Amino acid sequence: MIPRKADRILIQGITGKQGSFWSKAMQDYGSTIVAGVNPAKAGSEHLGVPVFASAREAAKSTPFDIACMFIPPMLAKVAAIDACEAGAKLLVCLTEHIPAHDVMEMHVAARATGTRIVGPNTAGLVTVGECFIGIMPAFNDRVFRPGHVGVISRSGSLGTLVSLNLTQSGLGQSVFYGVGGDPMIGTNTADALRILDGDAGTHAIVLCGEIGGTAEEEAADYARSMTKPVVAFLAGRQSPPDKKMGHAGAIVSGGKGDYASKRKALEDAGVTVADLPSQIPALIAARLTATASNDAPRSPR
Amino acid sequence: MNFEEHAAKPLMALNGITVPPSRLALDPVEAEAAAAAIGPCVVKAQVPAGKRGKAGGIKLAANPAEARRHAEAIIGLVIGGWPVEKVLIEAQTPIARELYAAIVNDSASKGPMLLFSPMGGMDVEEAAAADPAAMRRLPIAIEHGLGAATAHKAISGLGLEAVAPALVDVLLNLYRAYRSLDAELIEINPLVVTPDNRVIALDCKLTIDDSAASRQVQAAALAAPVQQTVLEAKAAEAGLKYIELGGEVGVLANGAGLTMTTMDVIAHYGGQPANFLEIGGEAYTKSKVALSILLENPNVKSLLVNFCGAFARTDVMAEGVINAWEDLKPEIPIFFSIHGTGADAAVALVKSRLGIEPFDLMDDAVKAAVAAAAGRTQA
Residues A198-233 have pLDDT tens digits of: 999 999 999 999 988 889 999 999 999 999 999 999
Residue B379 confidence class, pLDDT cut points 50, 70, 90: very low
What is the DSSP track for A81-115?
A: HHHHHTT-SEEEE------HHHHHHHHHHHHHHTP
A203 is catalytic: no
B125 touches chain A (CB under 8 A): yes
DSSP code, position B194: P
Between CA B223 and CA A243 the distance in angstroms is: 16
B152 in contact with chain A, both atoms CB, cutoff 8 A: no
Which residues in chain A are closer than 8 Å to B309, comparing Cβ atoms? 137, 157, 160
Q: How far is CA A296 from the centre of its chain?
A: 33
* Confidence at residue A290, expressed as pLDDT on a 0 to 100 scale: 87
A246 and B340 within 8 Å at the Cβ level: the answer is no
- Residue ranges of alpha helices (H) inside chain A are 17-29, 55-61, 73-85, 100-113, 156-168, 189-197, 215-223, 248-253, 259-268, 280-295
**Span between the terminal Cα atoms of chain B, in Å:** 47
Q: What ipTM was reported for this prediction?
A: 0.92
B239 touches chain A (CB under 8 A): no
Contact A104 B105 (CB under 8 A): yes
Q: Which of A245, A273, A280 to mutate against chain B (most B CBs within 10 Å)?
A: A245
| Contact status, residue A63 vs residue A38, Cβ threshold 8 Å | no
Confidence band for A301, pLDDT divided at 50, 70 and 90 = very low
- The CA distance from B315 to A137, in Å, is 13
At B138 the pLDDT is: 96
| Angle, CA of A264, A270 and A272, to the nearest 5° | 75
Tell me the per-residue pLDDT of B95-138, one tens digit each, with 9 for 90 and over: 999 999 999 999 889 999 999 999 988 788 888 888 888 899 99
Is B1 touching A (CB cutoff 8 A)? no
| Sheet order of strands, A272-274 included | A131-134, A124-127, A173-178, A146-153, A204-210, A230-235, A272-274
What pLDDT sits at residue B229?
84
Q: What is the DSSP string of B354-376?
A: I----BSSHHHHHHHHHHHHTTP
pLDDT value of position B227: 76
Q: Determine the residue among B261, B313, B317 to mutate to test chain A binding: the one whose Cβ has the most chain A Cβ atoms within 10 Å.
A: B261
pLDDT of res. A251: 62
Beta partners for A7?
none
Q: How far is A299 from chain B (nearest CA, A)?
A: 42
User: Mean pLDDT over all residues of chain A?
Assistant: 93
pLDDT value at position B134?
86
Kind and range of the H or E run holding B168: helix B164-180
- Residue A151: strand, helix, or coil: strand
Lowest mean pLDDT among A44-58, A234-248, B3-17, B209-223: A234-248
Phi, psi of A231 (to 5 degrees): -120, 135
Q: What is the pLDDT of residue B351?
A: 96
Per CB-CB distance under 8 Å, the chain A contacts of B257 are 153-159, 181, 208, 210, 235
Question: Residue A71: its chain B contacts at CB < 8 A?
Answer: none
Closest residue on chain B to A155 (Cα): B257
Q: What is the per-residue pLDDT across A140-196, written as a single tens digit (0 to 9) for each?
A: 999 999 999 999 999 999 999 999 999 999 999 999 999 998 999 999 999 999 999
Q: Which has more confidence, B340 or A114? A: A114
Query: How much is the mean pLDDT over chain B?
Result: 93
Identify the pLDDT of residue A300. Answer: 45
Instruction: Compute the distance between CA of residue B303 and CA of residue B295 in angstroms, rounded to an integer.
Output: 9
Classify residue B159 as left (phi > 0), alpha (psi -120 to 50) or beta: left
Q: Which of residues 44-83 of B touch A (CB under 8 A)?
A: 48-50, 80
How remote is the C-alpha of B208 from its chain's centroid? 10
Percent above pLDDT 90 for chain A: 85
| B312 in contact with A, Cβ within 8 Å | yes
Tell how far CA A223 is from the center of its chain: 17
Catalytic residue among B4, B90, B98, B187: B187
How far is the CA of A248 from the CAs of A78, B277, B353, in angstroms?
A: 30, 29, 52
Distance CA A84, CA A56 (A): 9
